[in-house]
Amino acid sequence: MDAEGLALLLPPVTLAALVDSWLREDCPGLNYAALVSGAGPSQAALWAKSPGVLAGQPFFDAIFTQLNCQVSWFLPEGSKLVPVARVAEVRGPAHCLLLGERVALNTLARCSGIASAAAAAVEAARGAGWTGHVAGTRKTTPGFRLVEKYGLLQAVRAARQAADFTLKVEVECSSLQEAVQAAEAGADLVLLDNFKPEELHPTATVLKAQFPSVAVEASGGITLDNLPQFCGPHIDVISMGMLTQAAPALDFSLKLFAKEVAPVPKIH
């Protein structure tokens, strides 16, 4: 599924409510900055100042749409960013551009950071010759889960797989005995949690030999550095909490400009 299709997964009512809550949190009272900037028409250029994967356009759009601003994108969702890159342009009343600036940048930076980390994980897994699925976990930020899950999907780009995971019965297990019991009880997916690689692969081998149709997921303590050690022929899914907990945000800036050509920002 392409990026435009992924945006359809975002419930419009939920998205609008999230945007409203973010803006209210960022400016809960009188907006004194509006007295300085005024309400005249203005424009701002969005610049990417660090490499990674661009993700979060629907949230960025929704924030500025609610503020009566228009966004024009120069790069499609999911693009690989090579700094310094002019990503988009936003037009609208000056005070509205400034009101949405920080919320929009925070959301885009965080979502793009997660997408970048997920893409790096997929690349590392493929580099190890593994063809299974890299997934996130429920270790997400309250009030920001939709953004983080969306960022993960930018790397996976498989709606059918994403939907299938939500429909499976998964049982977390800490030993081979528990895994066998879960499979016998009808589990679709057995999560081998906090297994070291030298324990994980023998356990998965035995389980798959008895229950070939049961999917095996590895999780717990998996990072980009040690990910290849968890890849194996009997592992179907590798879930990584660090994709949402530890992914660094990308660096974006939104610069107002009065001339026809927006000045290129410097990277410090």
The predicted model gives 80-91 an average pLDDT of: 96
Give 24-58 pLDDT, tens digit per residue. 998 888 777 776 777 788 999 999 999 999 999 99
Which of the pair, 168 or 104, is modelled with greater confidence?
Answer: 104
What's the chain's average pLDDT? 89
The predicted model gives 16-25 an average pLDDT of: 94
Residue 156 pLDDT greater than 70, yes or no: no
Q: What percent of the chain has pLDDT over 70?
A: 90
pLDDT at 222: 96
Residue 4 pLDDT greater than 80, yes or no: no
The closest alpha carbon to 10, from 61, 49, 50, belongs to 61
Residue 214 pLDDT greater than 90, yes or no: yes
Q: Among all residues, which ones are annotated catalytic?
A: 139
pLDDT at 2: 61
Local confidence band at 9 (pLDDT 50, 70, 90 cut-offs): confident
Residue 107 pLDDT greater than 90, yes or no: yes
Give 178-213 pLDDT, tens digit per residue. 999 999 999 999 999 999 999 999 999 999 999 999
Alpha-carbon dihedral of residues 71, 76, 80, 83, nearest 10 degrees?
-30
Local confidence band at 3 (pLDDT 50, 70, 90 cut-offs): low
* DSSP at 11: -
Q: What percent of the chain has pLDDT over 90?
A: 74
Residues in the chain: 268
Range with the poorest average pLDDT among 101-105, 210-214, 220-224, 255-259: 255-259
Residues 1, 53: Cα–Cα separation, whole Å: 17
Quote the tokens at residue 188.
């679709």
The predicted model gives 9-24 an average pLDDT of: 92
The predicted model gives 160-188 an average pLDDT of: 80
Residues 71, 77: Cα–Cα separation, whole Å: 13
By CB atoms closer than 10 A (0-12, 13-18, 19+), residue 131 is: exposed
SS3 111: helix
pLDDT at 110: 97
Give 231-244 pLDDT, tens digit per residue. 999 999 999 999 99
